[in-house]
């Protein structure tokens, strides 16, 4: 029974985390076994099961908790009283689809702790993104509670089940529950170690907007002998359209695209240079050698502070084995934009639509399907929690923690700002080779253990 009259102690909490690691891994693996794929309606019952599992886990911590129904998957909300600042901890219990399944070495929802040459890992879909990361925080709470009793802050727990599928229920839920969810600061564990080795607090995120473009020429597939020449080929039209999106220096050509994009200061570039990022190694690790993108920009600068226009998928005509001399009726491409600064995602999607419509012959039809739009976010690092967290992370990892940017987008951080007026502190322990969104996802056991210990240290410093 913890002695709640004595000052709360940090070291016993750290020891407790280390000593009870096997049980914590078991709990994580129970959550990993639930195939909570949000984008596929066939797994909706499993998403509900994962929500219920977290409700039970929160209640075991002493929190009031419930799974709130939505038009989509449930939102898990919990509340744990405590003396100190009121913070919200966010995570998501849904996971990415698993295709291509034949590239997994073991079933994605049969998690396992494995020995590798680089140490022990937890293997399974969601091991990193986001279940493993989410559980570092709950593990720290459980350990603090076991040793010290009440946490040194009041915690609102908020777990959604649609992050991998565009979060359609999120904005209405935030708007309807401002009081229940509002806090001084949000803590989010869904990012990675800087350069796979150094603790980092992410203070800016790129935004994201997506759209699918479908071009239709003839009303049926045509024989390329009988029609080749005078008949418009949607694949050729689409290639020209896509090729025209970037100039020869790698800049996006859409009118107004760079409105709201801040030019990074020399000081900021210098501080990023000082991080010692191994750009060649970063590219080499995935079989590349030459930085693509905008001429004259550093790799880190591009990832953290420059917007992109990318093509995530393209299809048209005959794509099977062998050859078919067809002029296809249709071709389509999925395009997404990573956004920075004050870029307006809706304006950019409108510019894309206008550009495509102006670029195609009059007898080629164009249809669009939007897939979400969220602006970039930049955090206000003046809140004392940021300094506290930086010191705590430096203690745990034995090196200075950095404030960094991020290439990815976590739209919820933007919505916390715009709807709840709340900044987010993004701290995570993932690694580049975790393979999130890919087959054979894993999470290092050391990331899990040191992650939980990092949160415990942050709790200690938040105590003031």
Q: Which of residues 230-269 bind a second copy (CB under 8 A)?
A: 230-233, 235-236, 238-240, 242-244, 246
- DSSP-derived 3-state class of residue 60: helix
Of 21, 61, 261, 314, the residue at the interface with a second copy (CB under 8 A) is 314
Q: Rounded to an integer, what distance in angstroms lies between the CA atom of residue 406 and that of residue 383?
A: 20
Which ranges of 149-296 would DSSP assign to H, the alpha helix?
170-176, 178-181, 224-227, 234-243, 266-273, 279-284
Candidates 44, 66, 180, 279; binder of a second copy (CB under 8 A) is: 279
Please, which residue, 81 or 281, has the CB nearer to a second copy? 281
296 near a second copy (CB under 8 A)? no
Interface segment toward a second copy; rule CB under 8 A; list 56-64, 113-121, 262-270, 329-337 = 329-337
Q: Does 310 bind a second copy (CB under 8 A)?
A: yes
DSSP secondary structure letter of residue 214: E
The two three-digit tokens of residue 229, written as one number:
């020449």
Alpha helix (H) residue ranges in 151-212: 170-176, 178-181
Residue 322 binds to a second copy (criterion: CB under 8 A)? yes
For residue 398, the 8-state DSSP code is: T
Q: Give residue for tokens 């076991």.
A: 146
* Secondary structure letter of residue 188 according to DSSP: E
Binding of a second copy by 368 (CB under 8 A): no
Residues numbered 94-133 forming contacts with a second copy, rule: CB under 8 A: 96-97, 99
Calpha distance 120→272 (Å, rounded): 31
How many residues of this chain bind a second copy (CB under 8 A)? 94
DSSP 34: S
Specify the length of the chain in residues.
464
- Which of 19, 176, 288, 350 forms a contact with a second copy (CB under 8 A)? 288
- Binding-residue pattern over the window 27 to 66 for a second copy, x denoting contact by CB under 8 A: ------------xx--------------------------
Nearer CB in complex with a second copy: 224/268? 224
Nearest-approach distance from CB 358 to a second copy, in angstroms: 15
Residue with tokens 């879909």: 125
Point out which span in 46-54, 193-201, 392-400, 403-411 binds a second copy (CB under 8 A).
403-411
Measured from the CB atom, the residue of 83 and 318 that comes closer to a second copy is: 318
For residue 130, the minimal CB distance to a second copy (Å) is: 13
How far apart are alpha carbons 173 and 354 in whole angstroms?
33
CB 422, min distance to a second copy, A: 22
Dihedral of alpha carbons 186, 124, 96, 245, sign:
positive
Dist. CA 111–CA 26, nearest whole Å: 10
Q: Which helix (H) or strand (E) holds 114?
A: strand 112-116
Shortest Cβ distance from residue 155 to a second copy (Å)?
27
Q: How many CA atoms lie within 13 A of 228 on its CB side?
A: 7
Site for a second copy contains 327 (CB under 8 A): yes
Q: Are 247 and 346 in contact (CB under 8 A)?
A: no
For a second copy, which is the closer residue by CB, 79 or 338?
Answer: 338
Please tell me whether residue 221 binds a second copy under the rule CB under 8 A. yes
**Closest CB to a second copy among 19 and 288?**
288
Ranges within 149-168 binding a second copy (CB under 8 A): 165-166
Q: Sheet holding 75-80: strands in order across?
A: 64-68, 75-80, 154-160, 86-92, 185-188, 423-427, 200-202, 402-404
Q: Are 82 and 153 spatial neighbours (Cβ–Cβ below 8 Å)?
A: yes
Which span (16-24, 139-147, 207-215, 348-356) binds a second copy, by CB under 8 A? Answer: 207-215
CB closer to a second copy out of 318 and 400: 318
d(CA 348, CA 313): 19
Q: How far apart are CA 423 and CA 188, in angstroms?
A: 11
- Compare residues 81 and 249 and give the one whose CB is closer to a second copy: 249
C-alpha span between 430 and 458 (Å, rounded): 18
62 Cβ contact partners less than 8 Å away, ≥ 6 residues apart:
80, 145
User: Which residue's CB is nearer to a second copy, number 149 or number 250?
Assistant: 250
Q: How far is the CB of 329 from a second copy (least distance, A)?
A: 8
| Nearest-approach distance from CB 293 to a second copy, in angstroms | 4
By the rule CB under 8 A, 178 interacts with a second copy: no
Cβ distance to a second copy smaller for residue 156 or 238: 238
Options 72-80, 110-118, 314-322, 416-424: segment touching a second copy (CB under 8 A):
314-322
Binding residue for a second copy, selected from 9, 227, 269, 275, defined by CB under 8 A: 227
Q: Which of residues 14-33 bind a second copy (CB under 8 A)?
A: none
């Amino acid at each position: 029974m913890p002695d709640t009259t004595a000052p709360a102690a940090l070291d016993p909490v750290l020891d407790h985390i280390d000593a009870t690691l096997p049980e914590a891994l078991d709990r994580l693996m129970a959550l990993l076994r639930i195939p909570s794929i949000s984008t596929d309606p066939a797994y909706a019952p499993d998403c509900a099961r994962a929500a219920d599992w977290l409700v039970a886990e929160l209640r075991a911590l002493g929190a009031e908790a419930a799974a709130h129904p939505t038009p989509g998957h449930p939102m898990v909300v919990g509340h744990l009283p405590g003396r100190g600042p009121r913070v919200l901890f966010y995570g998501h219990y849904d996971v990415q689809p698993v295709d291509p399944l034949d590239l997994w070495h073991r079933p994605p929802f049969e998690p396992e702790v494995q020995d590798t040459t680089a140490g022990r890992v937890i293997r399974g879909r969601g091991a990193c993104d986001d279940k493993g990361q989410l559980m570092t925080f709950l593990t720290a709470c459980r350990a603090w509670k076991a040793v010290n009793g009440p946490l040194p802050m009041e915690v609102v727990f908020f777990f959604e089940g649609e992050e991998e599928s565009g979060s359609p229920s999120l904005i209405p839920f935030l708007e309807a529950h401002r009081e229940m969810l509002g806090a001084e600061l949000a803590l989010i564990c869904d990012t990675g170690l800087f350069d796979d080795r150094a603790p980092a607090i992410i203070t800016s995120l790129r935004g994201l907007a997506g759209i699918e473009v479908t071009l239709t020429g003839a009303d049926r597939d045509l024989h390329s002998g009988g029609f080749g020449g005078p008949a418009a080929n949607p694949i050729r039209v689409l290639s020209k359209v896509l090729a025209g999106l970037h100039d020869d220096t790698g800049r996006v050509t859409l009118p107004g695209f760079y409105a709201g994009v801040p030019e990074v200061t020399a000081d900021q570039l210098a501080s990023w240079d000082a991080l010692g990022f191994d750009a060649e190694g970063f590219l080499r690790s995935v079989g590349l050698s030459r930085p693509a993108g905008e001429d004259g920009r550093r790799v880190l600068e591009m990832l953290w502070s420059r917007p992109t226009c990318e093509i995530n998928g393209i299809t048209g005509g005959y794509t099977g084995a062998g050859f078919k001399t067809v002029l296809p009726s249709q071709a389509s491409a999925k395009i997404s934009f990573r956004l920075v600064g004050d870029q307006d995602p809706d304006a950019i999607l409108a510019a894309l639509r206008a550009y495509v419509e102006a670029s195609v012959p009059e007898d080629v039809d164009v249809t669009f399907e939007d897939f979400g739009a969220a602006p970039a976010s930049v955090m206000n690092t003046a809140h004392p929690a940021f300094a506290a967290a930086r010191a705590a992370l430096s203690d745990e990892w034995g090196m200075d923690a950095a404030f960094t940017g991020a290439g990815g987008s976590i739209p919820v951080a933007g919505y916390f700002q715009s709807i709840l007026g709340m900044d987010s502190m993004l701290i995570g322990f993932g690694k580049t080779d975790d393979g999130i969104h890919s087959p054979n996802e894993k999470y290092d056991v050391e990331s899990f253990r040191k992650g939980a210990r990092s949160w415990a240290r942050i709790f200690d410093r938040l105590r003031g």
